[in-house]
Amino acid sequence: MDKAKRRTVIAGNWKMNKTARQAAELIDALIPAVQGAGCDVVICTPFTSLPAAVEKCKGTNIHVGAQNVHFEANGAYTGEISAEMLTDLGVEYVITGHSERRQYFAETDETVNKRTRAALAAGLQVIVCVGESLTQREQGVTEELVRLQVKIALQGVSAQEMQRVIIAYEPVWAIGTGRTATADQAQEVCAAIRRVLAELYGQDVADATTIQYGGSMNAGNADELLAKADVDGGLIGGASLKADAFAAIVAAAGK
Ligand code: PGA
């Protein structure tokens, strides 16, 4: 495995946090803190903060993403946001399939696939989240489950489109719990994801795809996780809400 073949990406998932004004303040602090980073930096803000975030991040090394996107282009889908609405604002990235969306908003592998395809068709870069629950890990089905999630999420996605796909491995039991997967556990599943990508698209595409770990990643554990051969970055929740904590992870990734 050659890490030089792929981008290291640290993405913040702000979840349902920060008003537009608070977002602007955090970005003001982030800009100098991550300037000159040795990895790609993304912040995924709530929809309401996207215009301010795009405006502030212009001319900086911070890229802006959304946390969800609907699969239809327009129509009677109350409360939803289309991919074109995002690209029109200047948004470059979107997260699909986050476990909180699956858990609380009834998203399925099928809708994750539809959202992913719609986002790719609109030109967005997509961070596709997969991961097992604690029960599933205890049942010993983690690898099978994650393979299935990846395969369904990527149905109909071309090898060329894979250049704009990042896979985030996020064990549900590690999200927001302070309980991080060990670096070996993260590596094991990220390597399994790369194997399934190789089956689907060939080794070159698999080697070129960024695979992030997410779940209670912070300044203290980032080094060890990112040192693993198949961990190419992080999707950061809680620690992305403070500029210094997020910048410390970005610094670890840039080493
Ligand atoms: P956490 O969230 O870093 O707060 O565990 C990660 C995520 O849900 O993307």
At 2, the pLDDT band (50, 70, 90 cuts) reads low
Query: What residues have CB less than 8 Å from 50, skipping those under 6 apart?
Result: 64, 66, 86, 89, 91
> Distances in Å between the alpha carbon of 3 and those of 165, 206, 211, 230, 233?
16, 11, 11, 8, 11
Greatest C-alpha distance within the chain: 48
pLDDT for 201 beyond 70: yes
- The pTM for the full model equals 0.98
pLDDT for 173 beyond 70: yes
Domains in the chain, please, with CATH? 3-253 (3.20.20.70)
pLDDT for 175 beyond 80: yes
Ligand 1 nearest-atom number relative to CA 217: 3
Give the closest residue to 34 by CA, choosing from 46, 44, 26, 22. Answer: 26
At 179, the pLDDT band (50, 70, 90 cuts) reads confident
Tens digit of each residue's pLDDT (9 = 90 or more) over 105-124: 999 999 999 999 999 999 99
Tens digit of each residue's pLDDT (9 = 90 or more) over 123-142: 999 999 999 999 999 999 99
Q: Whose CA is nearest to atom 3 of ligand 1?
A: 237
Residue 98 catalytic? Answer: yes
Tens digit of each residue's pLDDT (9 = 90 or more) over 140-151: 999 999 999 999
| C-alpha torsion sign, points 28, 180, 182, 172 | negative
